[in-house]
Amino acid sequence: MLRQRVITALLLMALLLPALFADSSLPFALLTLVMISAAGWEWARLVGVASPGLALGSGALLAALCALSLTQLSALTQVGQGAGLWWLALALWLLGGGWALRLGPAGWSPLAPGLRWALGLAGLWLAWLAMAQARVIGINFLLSVMCVVWAADICAYFSGRAFGKRKLAPSISPGKSWAGVYGGVAGVLLLALGWLWFDTHYSFDSPSLFLLLRQRLGWLGLMLSALLLTALSVMGDLFESLVKRAAGVKDSSGLLPGHGGVLDRLDALLPVLPASLALISL
């Protein structure tokens, strides 16, 4: 299993890094479009689309929506543009995601399959739009957003293993604890401080998420934003766990050997990407 995980991770990096650091943002947008369409296929299967053709069609439909959005994205080159869309996405996650977690796996399954299918594709589309615009803003900005999720996940894992007695959502993800959440928040705050130091001592292609938040919202705003983004990261992870538990599966698919599916790797990023763009528009 470990060998599979390492080989898959190396292959993904071999594809992602050249696209990420290309002179144009287009290669990264196209590569992630392929990945998000695979996530659309996985989502259709998770919400009960039994026909293989319809599941593949869901991925193709999502890819078409993303491709049609490329021309609009080329105009969103400035920080704060498209703010209304990102605030809508944030509101949907806070209200809809919170509602879904409150329902739990038992309450999720009875919802109309068409509604669950549409909500998932909309969330994936908005996340891809946010990821593509973040790359247009700059590599430093995009990486700082993605590292919020990675730092929260890594710190939550170790703090949860060390101190995790009080469970966060045992009916959805028994392994998660409140200690993990607190560790994730601490990790993101430390990440923000460290990234700000590098921002002030070195020159990058763009300001980071943390520098923009501090400039626009001050230190208190930066800390509150870090708290919100960590909470959204946990929400995205829990939401996918809820959907998988309702579907009776461990992974969203086997597309990434040793890692599960594309959704398993993107779940926490889905709410964090548009939320980050919403916050820097303030």
Residue 70 pLDDT grade (very low, low, confident, very high; cuts 50, 70, 90) = confident
pLDDT at 216 exceeding the cut of 80: yes
pLDDT at 57 exceeding the cut of 90: yes
Percent of the chain with pLDDT over 90: 73
Residue 108 pLDDT grade (very low, low, confident, very high; cuts 50, 70, 90) = very high
Q: pTM (2 decimals)?
A: 0.93
* Mean predicted lDDT score pLDDT of the chain: 91
Chain segment 126-142, per-residue pLDDT in tens: 999 999 999 989 999 99
Q: What is the pLDDT of residue 78?
A: 58
The residues spanned by each domain of the chain are 2-280
Chain segment 151-185, per-residue pLDDT in tens: 999 999 999 888 988 999 888 988 899 999 999 99
pLDDT at 75 exceeding the cut of 70: no
DSSP secondary structure, the chain, as one string:
-HHHHHHHHHHHHHHHHHHHTSSSSHHHHHHHHHHHHHHHHHHHHHTT---HHHHHHHHHHHHHHHHHHHHHHTT--STTTTHHHHHHHHHHIIIIIHHHHHHHHHHHTTS-HHHHHHHHHHHHHHHHHHHHHHHHH-HHHHHHHHHHHHHHHHHHHHHHHHH--SEEETTTEEEEEHHHHHHHHHHHHHHHHHHHHHHHHS--SS--HHHHHHHHHHHHHHHHHHHHHHHHHHHHHHHHHHHHHHHT-SSS-SSBTTTB-HHHHHTTHHHHHHHHHHHHT-
